[in-house]
Amino acid sequence: MPDPLLIAKSKQELNLLPEMANRHGLVAGATGTGKTVTLQVMAENFSRIGVPVFAADVKGDLSGISQPGKDNPKLAERVKKLQLADFSFEGNPAACWDVFGEEGHPVRATVSEMGPLLFSRLLNLNDTQSGVLTLVFKIADDNGLLLLDLKDLQAMLQNVGDNAKQFQTQYGNISAASIGAIQRGLLTLQQQGGDKFLGEPALNLDDLMQTDSNGHGVVNLLAAGKLMSSPKLYATFLLWLLSELFEKLPEVGDPEKPKLVFFFDEAHLLFSDLPKVLEEKVEQVIRLIRSKGVGVYFVTQNPIDIPEVILGQLGNRVQHALRAFTPADQKGVRAAAQTFRANPAVDVEKTITELAVGEALVSFLDEKGTPTPVERALICPPHSQIGPIKPDQRRQVISSSLVAGVYEKTVDRESAYERLKGRAAQQPAPAQPAPAQTSSWFPNLGIPSSGGRRGDSLAEAAMKSAARAMGSSVGRQIIRGVLGSLLGGGSRR
């Protein structure tokens, strides 16, 4: 069993227990109070016991985790105060990832892996538009057309729009306005560079779960600086990653240490205007992913940024200082205070506003899974560098990574775009459209007509997906239904 992880010290050591680390956690506090350094201290501890980590690096300052730290008077003072014997400086194995492929290895998902619901959220679609997008995925699925990158989806939309009348018999009404809205949304996404992360080679989750030759877990850093300028893209991407982990990882029960720890910085972005149905699914994923050995740690300013049902599942807590200037602030402080197991020796509400930088109220789960009474404590200093690395150091990290060269070049294999384009080139539009009942919509693709089978109308499709989402069997299809490729998932890689 790996040793407890020393994260903070009050009169006693405050340890995060590896076997309880999959019971999730929260790091909260106002700007500049020490959240990122706390995350860094947790992450390097996980790495040391061989647990890989995935963390969004919002300001770039977490990248210092890849380099040994440097002595400075403030740090020395903290080391002395905490009586940390044999404190040494050490960097950690790291991999840099970047949705835009600039600050790290490109990280990609295919359109069908994202699925219609995450796309709907990404594009801000209303229910009707979202229903149409769902049908477009289904039509692609039914016709064996792969949706890998943005141009596949665009070609598919175009095709469905152009042939809406014919599709109507089998799939129900497809309004031109909805198609138009989705197309405009995709254009905006493309302008934001969102198309960069749609396509192949798509991320292989195993690549996030590596250890180095010392048996230390690799710290995967998602360069999120640019990504944060499209908060929806950021939140949707991390949600996708979480759902992929959930879908792909096997059950492991309660392992002696996590398989992976996932840090979700700026977590309020995930939950701001998240539709209720998606929030419920996130709650479910968080609850169930634990038994797959994944610990999820949210990092945010105030605990009330996180829905209560999810907050209730975050067992390991570090609360840095909060301000209490306005009545709204004070309400937040009170709410934050109430989330801790009381300790008669600590006036939580008062203390929260007094905490110094790098100081926090801490409560971790004990070996029985019960939260320990809250303690006021100093967070240990990290062994790695505080603050960002330089561009040449980043280049060095990227080129020496285990996955160097694997994702750098895009692959554009034959998919919906090529096949639809091929069809258009081969056959100019017929002068007279064939009768709907006897023709297939993809006559040149050798796709058999549905032979009169009455397909799903829009309403039916929506009902089915809702039924799927509410189904009692908890597992793949629930998440697929809501987060993953909604309909069948037949067109995954």
Residues that bind ligand ATP (CB under 6 A): 29, 31-37, 59, 61, 75, 78, 357-358, 379, 381, 386
β-pairing, 5-9 vs 13-16, is antiparallel
Which CB, 31 or 326, lies closer to Mg ion?
A: 31
CA count, 13 A, side-chain hemisphere, 153: 29
Which CB, 59 or 287, lies closer to ligand ATP?
A: 59
CB 356 within 8 Å of CB 64: no
State the greatest distance between any 2 C-alpha atoms of the chain, in Å, as a whole number.
85
CA-to-CA separations, 122 to 231, 387, 393, in angstroms, rounded: 9, 31, 33
Instruction: Decide which of Mg ion, ligand ATP, none touches 381; Cβ closer than 5 to 8 Å per partner kind.
Output: ligand ATP
Give the nearest distance from C-beta 262 to ligand ATP in angstroms: 18
Instruction: Decide which of Mg ion, ligand ATP, none touches 112; Cβ closer than 5 to 8 Å per partner kind.
Output: none
Give the nearest distance from C-beta 363 to ligand ATP in angstroms: 17
Residue at shortest CB range from ligand ATP: 358
Which CB, 36 or 465, lies closer to Mg ion?
A: 36
Residue by residue, DSSP assigns 415-442 as -HHHHHHHHHHHSPPPSSPPPTTT--S-
CA dihedral in degrees (293, 298, 303, 306; nearest 10)?
Answer: -80
* Residue 351 touching Mg ion (CB under 5 A): no
16 to 75, contacts with Mg ion by CB under 5 A? 36
Instruction: Decide which of Mg ion, ligand ATP, none touches 369; Cβ closer than 5 to 8 Å per partner kind.
Output: none
Give the nearest distance from C-beta 95 to ligand ATP in angstroms: 22
DSSP letter at 202 equals P
| Dist CA 411 CA 149 (whole Å) | 10
Which CB, 357 or 424, lies closer to ligand ATP?
A: 357
CB 118 within 8 Å of CB 239: yes
Instruction: Decide which of Mg ion, ligand ATP, none touches 33; Cβ closer than 5 to 8 Å per partner kind.
Output: ligand ATP
Which CB, 106 or 381, lies closer to ligand ATP?
A: 381
Instruction: Decide which of ligand ATP, Mg ion, none touches 131; Cβ closer than 5 to 8 Å per partner kind.
Output: none
| Dist CA 264 CA 266 (whole Å) | 7
Instruction: Decide which of Mg ion, ligand ATP, none touches 309; Cβ closer than 5 to 8 Å per partner kind.
Output: none
Give the nearest distance from C-beta 10 to ligand ATP in angstroms: 14
> Which tokens sit at 381?
């200093």
The helix/strand/coil state of 285 is helix
Give the nearest distance from C-beta 2 to Mg ion in angstroms: 27
Which CB, 228 or 335, lies closer to ligand ATP?
A: 228
Residue at shortest CB range from Mg ion: 36
Element housing 268 (H / E): helix 268-271
CB 36 within 8 Å of CB 43: no
* Residue 166 touching Mg ion (CB under 5 A): no
CB 256 within 8 Å of CB 22: no
CB 152 within 8 Å of CB 146: yes
Instruction: Decide which of Mg ion, ligand ATP, none touches 78; Cβ closer than 5 to 8 Å per partner kind.
Output: ligand ATP
* Residue 300 touching Mg ion (CB under 5 A): no
Residues near Mg ion (CB under 5 A) are 36
